[in-house]
Structure 1
Amino acid sequence: MAGFNWFWKAMGGQQSRNQKRSRAIVDKARTINRELDALDDAQLVARARDLASGGSVSDPAELLAVLGVAAGRTLCMTPFDVQSQATLRLLEGDVVHMATGEGKTLVGAMAATGFALTGKRVHCITVNDYLARRDADWMTPLVEFFGLTVGAITEKLTPEERRGVYACDIVYGPVNEIGFDVLRDQLITDRSQAVQKGADVAIVDEADSVLVDEALVPLVLAGNEPGRAPRGRITEVVRTLEPGTDYRPDDERRNVFLTDEGAAKVEHALGIGSLYDDDHVGTTLVQVNLALHARELLIRDVHYIVRDGKVALIDASRGRVADLQRWPDGIQAAVEAKEGLVVTEGGRILDTITLQALMVRYPTVCGMTGTAVEATDQLRQFYDLRVSVIDRNRELKRFDQADRVFATLEEKNAAIVDEIRTIHATGQPVLVGTQDVAESEELAERLREYDIEVSVLNAKNDAEEARIIAEAGDLGRVTVSTQMAGRGTDIRLGGADEADRDRVVELGGLAVIGTSRHRTARLDNQLRGRGGRQGDPGFSLFFVSLEDDVVTAGGAGEEITVTPGSGGEIDSKRVRDFIEHCQRVTEGQLLEIHSQTWKYNKLIADQREIIDGRRAEILDTSAAWESLAQRAPDRAAELSGKLSREVLDKAAREIMLYHLDNAWSDHLALLDDVRESIHLRAIARETPIDEFHRIAVAEFKELAQTAMAESVDTFRTVRIDEDGAHLEDHGLARPSATWTYMVNDNPLSGSGNSVIGSITSMFR
């Protein structure tokens, strides 16, 4: 333990600094419990209100005690000391590291209630609709005990229903839905159209998944306008190209490049002179590269599935379909063309925001996860958050075995099947974590050949998620799943009702098997953490081959000589150390990608704040009318003699907001184009990020001037009457349809699945 504390001091973590103080406060809270138990409900609520008056907590120990007694009365759940300690750390703004099965849901609700008692509005951020509804319903009695209100945002709610939920003191909601509401509120032309009320605190469940894994995923609000897609015969021509001869992917499989032979073959097939002529470099060449990317780097049942005649992207960090997620328009269309589906047109991007930029809008961010320790660097670097490790309520009994390493994928896969068969024969339940949909289905099929009944949880059947996970600890059960992060349901030994718990305990608890190491140890530990909950027995075992993605990517350019034993197995500490090294390399690559990408996104986020401020000024004051009247006094005087000031304010607001929003949309499109080509600046020995900033700042200055000039021109000519400004008469109508989606821009998604990864790798 001394060594562990040294590690935390070095990392700047809260393990040593706050544990002693936190435990003292929790100990004090326990001594107050008897006194509080004697109070009736009204007296207990009054005590809580007194403690949190003035916007801060006067005695944290007493507040913890009040919350604990209330939880016991309303939920029949008396928090463990470690849960009270975690609640305290959340109230003080940390990310708490709590193992799976230690009761994070109650901790989050107690912290949210504590914040709300001080007058703060709280958003409890979840990873999906199911968890938002479940947690809000589950914790409503505790919240309402104190006279506070709670609600859940889900995808199906109408704008009016959303307004009602956002008016609550505590709001549970998926991060994407809350983000989309932020974007939609940025297009309102009257303050009454807004659905959100803002919040003071974000409590993030699965904090590392939201704040790190998906931090760079852009949420997009689009309007109806044609996009671009590979046209005509391009997809068919690309299908004829030979890998290795006509094109080559890079070592990390983030980019793919035509060779001279491949370019000549494409030019001949399309009947054009050169792909690199001015007539083709910005059109045909782009479409060829998109089709090539779709063919070589985006793999069906790994990066996406085809369901109901549509391409559905797979969220690799969670192993489930990302319902609202799509690639940027050209790549999305290229994959649809590759699969022979109807190619959907894209649209004009009206606004976009990354999850990281969304989260930093909250004055206070805190969170919970079972794997925060491994994300310490990212949480500190990008959010200035500290991690507090909360001890387990019961000692960990799970045994984590050394990896079994094999020379080839084929030998590894055969050994995995043999291991599962051996364990299953005893009746011990087995949970197998795979890398993707294709692997999960292939493994399940091989096991069924041996008459082993398998429950499969992947992106194709994630609607059955809760039921499958709840039964994964049952006697004789074999469950094969893609990534377990954010699944949100505990695996109880003996099944959901724990009927066979004693028998499963005798057999050794849940056996957790990983079919490969992930590119970050954090995802490995998320899988491991499904076993050994609350002192249960169990073991974990990972299988690795030297052909696995993490080894080939992290060990690129390095060679290791081995002599495999029987069945291709390699029993060598040197090889295991090499695999650990490969994983550290890939983790470093991901952190570098995140850091580089955030430098681009941060400037856009800063510019967005300026636009947000300008929009708020236009919406909430008479600034629009005053600005236009000053620049076009004759037109202002003409209108003032006919219309009320209220009508004139409304018309001026509509005009200025239209042109400001249109200019911002154009600016985003321009910056997207600049970022895609900025790596070429390196050829001229210019620093890409510096060049991007120079261009972005200069263009942003033009944005304001252009929006104002066009607003004045429109003000002078557009028809304005009692109904406001008739912008549609001038072809200036806002999009008749809008939709939201998430661009799959996640560098943790793995090979070929990261657009930003493709870009940043060029100038790393």
Structure 2
Amino acid sequence: MSGAFSIFGSYSEREIKRLKPIINKIDSFGNAMEGLTDDELKAKTDEFRKRIEDGEGIDRILPEAFAVVREAAYRVLKMKHYEVQLMGGIILHQGRIAEMKTGEGKTLVATLPAYLNALEGKGVHIITTNDYLAERDRNEMGQIFEFLGLTVGVILHDMEPEQRRAAYNADITYGTNNELGFDYLRDNMAVNKEERVQRGLYYAIVDEIDSILIDEARTPLIIAGEGDEPSDIYYTCDKLVKTFKKGEHFSVDEKRKAVTLDDAGIEIVENTFGLKNYADIENRLIQHHIIQALKANYTMLRDRDYIVKDDEVIIVDEFTGRVMEGRRFSEGLHEAIEAKEGMKINNESKTLATITLQNYFKIYEKLSGMTGTAATEEMEFREIYNLDVVVIPTNKPIQRIDYDDVVYRTTRAKYNAIINEIEESYKKGQPVLVGTSSVAKSEDISFLLKRKGIKHNVLNAKNHAKEAKIVEKAGQLGAVTIATNMAGRGTDIKLGEGVAEVGGLKVIGTDKHESRRIDNQLRGRSGRQGDPGCSRFIISLEDELMERFVPERFKELYDKIAENDSMPLQSKWVTRAVETAQKSVEGDNFYTRKNLVSYDDVVNVQRQIIYDERNKVLDGEDVEEDILDMAKTVINKTVTDYVGTQEEEEEADEFKQQLDKIISATEDICIDKGSISADEMKKMSNAEIENLIYEKAMDIYEKAKQKLGEEEIKSLGRVILLKVVDEKWVDHIDDMEFLKQGIGLRSYKQVDPVQCFQMEASEMFDSMVYSIKFNTVRNLFLNLLARLNGNGQPEELEDDELDDEIEDFEDIDEEEMIDESAAAEETEEQQEFQRLLNEMEAIEQEETEKEKEAETEQEADNQ
């Protein structure tokens, strides 16, 4: 603990001192709570809710509420919160991060702020890293909440919408970040309010917050639908970049896994595709495919980043080594890898909705989290999430001994040393946990142990429930367990009988991770709750991190000191050199995540505007006035585009031509053919022309109201607006991705890419908003005219045709996490929505056919 406080402990120590009076107040309620019957203790929940309704703040209720939970936990689970757990609970309630070491009971800590905040009735989300932990914690800790009269739910991957809705409506809901994030995106794609499952994002407690908000932050959540047929450009670009030479035609930034075309490469691309200037924005599609082909061929390694199984590319999670069935790399990278491997490319996916985890969690009114290792990333938590980290002291002093790193020249020598160390501990019965950075390295260690006849378990994060049981036994006498970085995380390793006498759990790290935090997590598996134990990292100069970041002079020094490859180097200087390398990588990764959020912050503002507008429509708000305002905007722009601002005198003939164009344009948007003429407009001002056109449009609108009924017209307006918003937003997401892909090239012109992105994204958003207005007005008035003219009752579409018409709303394939949940049963509102949609689609089809006929006639006249 002293090590943690020596870095930034003065702040944490001050914060802990501030908690003492609150802890004393909680303790003062202890005897009173012990004297209550079960029914009297349960009744406290209703009492607290009444006090909140009467205006009392939950901060004033906190000491008594925490005392209630403490007593309930003891009665239900025979667990009583320690003082340090009360401290952690207060920090979480305050919307901060509590760093608590492994074995300090973080799961129990979360019950305190969860209960207190659930009393407000807005819902509390407790977020874990996988379904197994979510279900386990709900079943165990949920007993405390249910004893006190609160409802508890859990969100699991295979749940139906109705089950999800019920879980979110509970007072406290357990779930994973992916499930909750995708439900948010799906809710904002719903075509009626009954399809939504979440009820708002009030307060989140994130377990293993560093894993979720930092390790997984570089991968956005993406829901995708099937896009266009794949083009040959993937194969063309793949074939082309395979001829390139690294360092001559392109450069690879190993730290960021980024690729850049050099001048020689640019010249070849320009010649191949006949481009004048590769960097021009109109070439962004080719830029995108070339970069993805380069990434696929020169940064993505088969059997490390992905595997090929049954003619399918399957992603391997870089943190767990887990094969991620059903997921696909985003932004065309998956298709580029398929081309690289000479496989059939599946239909390109089209992004329907996306959000980064950073911006998803920023939506919560209050956010807090727990982890055993947050101190090293405190600056990032402050800068991106506005969260500070408070280190909570351990309940008992840490006795684990962390030895200095041992470095060997070669991987072979490292492996020999690891096996010898394991064998030595195995002979005396001391349990050993061996941490590796990949599945392949776990299998290497396992193979060598089998040759020595040493029994062991291998955890590769493929089955959370099975792994949890193995991890629970990893502290027994003679146990040897090999685990990838994150395998079994969330489960404590408790020492078996007689293990303390042989030195406790020994942890051996076989690689240094890019992040010191991951290494600290591995060390933290030993020495829980004051248990004895030790940790040591045994590494080699051939390890990936060492080859990339350790300076050459270090390797030269090793050669001078070491007599042969099997001689180790062990000193604090070695450990410091490795930490320096890790800090360098952490800085690069922080830059990448910060850059990602800088771009997504721009899109996030736009996303919230669109989602707010959708929700207005779904919640049944009257959008009639909004649509009529859109009509005024569209008419104004149409008139201005054709007539200008009337600052200069126009020739009579030219002015008449412009008026004819206005008439033609507005007849295609919102008025009946022949309802106005150029003669009646030629002496009018712009404003008078706009008023005339608007009056004609309103005549149509009012007649439609009288014939079809006001509610029918308003419902039609809502359906059209929703459909147009969704279509334009999906296209805009694609445009933003292309813009982001090509924006890096602007740095060559000494322009800040992020600033450039902000400006162009804003212009593109304004253009999309006008497009929404134009298409909404046009579609609505074409529908009204068709109905008034007797063409508004199209035949019912067959089921298979209907599936084609309502694109992107069904059979949604998530690019990062496929959800195969069945659609909810149709409500009357859904049926009404689809009826109106069917009619609208049929009318649009009829108008398209008319336009084609008119074009054909025009071509015949010209000939």
TM-score (norm 2): 0.78
Matches within 5 A, 1:523-672: 523-555=518-550, 561-562=556-557, 563=560, 564-566=562-564, 567-629=566-628, 631=631, 632-672=697-737
Match of 2:29 among 27, 32, 35: 32
Of the candidates 3, 15, 18, which is equivalent to residue 15 of structure 2? 18
Whole-angstrom CA distance in 1 between matches of 2:464 and 2:120: 38
Write the distance in 1 (CA, Å) between the matches of 2:794 and 2:93. Answer: 49
Hey, what does 2:675 align to over in structure 1?
A: none
Query: 1:713 maps to which residue?
Result: 778
CA distance in 2, matches of 1:231, 1:88: 54
CA displacement at 1:154 relative to structure 2: 0.8
* 1:505 counterpart = 2:521: no
- CA deviation after TM superposition for structure 1 residue 444, in Å: 1.4
CA shift for structure 1 position 105 = 1.0
2:210 maps to 1:212: no
1:521·1:583 contact (CA, 8 Å) conserved in 2? yes
1:522 alignment partner in structure 2: 517
Q: Does 1:419 align with 2:421?
A: yes
Corresponding position of 1:43: 40
Among 104, 108, 111, the alignment partner of 1:102 is 104
Partner of 2:8: 8
Q: Partners of 2:316 and 2:516 in 1: how far apart?
A: 21
Mean alpha-carbon deviation: is it higher for 453-462 or for 710-719? 453-462
Tell me by how many angstroms 1:352 deviates. Answer: 0.4
Q: Partner of 2:833 in structure 1?
A: none
Aligned partners of 1:223 and 1:278: how far apart in 2?
34
Deviation at 1:438, TM superposition (A): 1.6
Corresponding residue SS for 2:316: strand
The one of 675, 685, 697 aligned to 2:762: 697
* TM superposition shift of 1:114: 1.6
Residue 741 in structure 1 maps to residue 740 in structure 2: no
- Relative distance call for 1:543 and 1:397 in structure 2 (3 A) is same
Q: Secondary structure at the match of 1:189?
A: coil
Question: Is the CA contact 1:628–1:715 (under 8 Å) kept in the aligned structure 2?
Answer: no
Cα distance in 2 between the residues matched to 1:483 and 1:224:
34
> Which residue is equivalent to 1:163?
165
CA 1:260–1:584 in structure 2 vs 1: closer, same or farther (change >3 Å)? closer
Q: Deviations over 1:636-678 (max 9, x none)?
A: 2243123343333222111111111222112111111111111
Distance in 1 separating the partners of 2:704 and 2:103: 67
Normalized per residue, the structure richer in helix is: 2
Give the direction of change, closer, same or farther, for the CA distance of 1:684–1:703 in structure 2 (3 Å limit): same
Q: For 1:3 and 1:330, locate their aligned partners in 2 and report how far apart those are by CA, in whole Å.
A: 45
Q: In the alignment, is the contact (CA less than 8 A) between 2:405 and 2:539 conserved in 1?
A: yes
Q: Could you say which residue in structure 1 is the equivalent of 2:258?
A: 255
- Which region of structure 1 is more displaced relative to structure 2, 433-442 or 325-334? 325-334
1:82 matched residue in structure 2: 84
Deviation at 1:232, TM superposition (A): 4.5
Q: Does 1:277 align with 2:350?
A: no
Distance 1:624 1:453, change over 3 A: same
- Tell me, in whole angstroms, the C-alpha distance in 1 between the residues paired with 2:389 and 2:229: 43
Q: Deviations over 1:6-40 (max 9, x none)?
A: 74367xx4x12321232332234234222211111
Contact 2:467/2:488 (CA < 8 Å) preserved in 1?
Answer: no
For residue 534 of structure 1, what is the amino acid of its counterpart? Q
Does the CA-based 8 Å contact 2:414-2:540 persist in structure 1? yes
Within the candidate set 656, 672, 675, 2:740 is matched to 675
SS of the residue 1:740 aligns to = coil
Separation in 2 of the partners of 1:90 and 1:595? 24
8 Å CA contact 2:329–2:815 kept in 1: the answer is no
Out of 333, 348, 355, the residue aligned to residue 357 of structure 2 is 355
CA distance in structure 1 between the aligned counterparts of 2:64 and 2:145, rounded to whole angstroms? 17
Closer, same or farther: CA 308–568 of 1 in aligned 2, 3 Å: farther
Give me the identity figure in percent.
36
Q: How far has the Cα of 1:694 moved from its partner? A: 0.7
Q: Is the Cα–Cα contact under 8 Å of residues 201 and 365 in structure 1 kept in the other structure?
A: yes
Determine if contact 1:98/1:390 at 8 Å carries over to the other structure: yes
Q: Which residue of the partner structure matches residue 303 of structure 2?
A: 301
Output the amino acid matched with 1:663.
Answer: K
Amino acid at match of 1:698: E
Question: Aligned partners of 1:568, 1:240: CA distance in 2, in Å?
Answer: 43
Give, as a single letter, the amino acid of the residue that structure 2 aligns with 1:302: R
**Any gaps of 5 or more consecutive residues in structure 2?**
632-696, 819-863
1:62 aligns with 2:59: no
Distance 1:151 1:316 in 2: 31
Whole-angstrom CA distance in 2 between matches of 1:491 and 1:558? 40
Call closer, same or farther: CA 1:647–1:154 in 2, change over 3 Å: farther
The structure with the larger Rg is 2
3-state DSSP class of the match of 2:200?
coil
* Residues 343-492 of structure 1 mapped to structure 2, 5 A cutoff: 343-460=345-462, 464-484=466-486, 487-492=489-494
Question: For residues 540 and 151 of structure 1, what CA distance do their matches in structure 2 show?
Answer: 39
Residues 153, 170 of structure 2: 8 Å contact kept: yes
8 Å CA contact retained: 1:403, 1:542: yes
Change (3 A) 1:545 1:43: same
* SS of the residue 1:493 aligns to: coil
1:341 CA drift (Å) = 5.0
Give the aligned length.
729
Instruction: Name 2:137's counterpart in structure 1.
Output: 135
Partner of 2:822: none
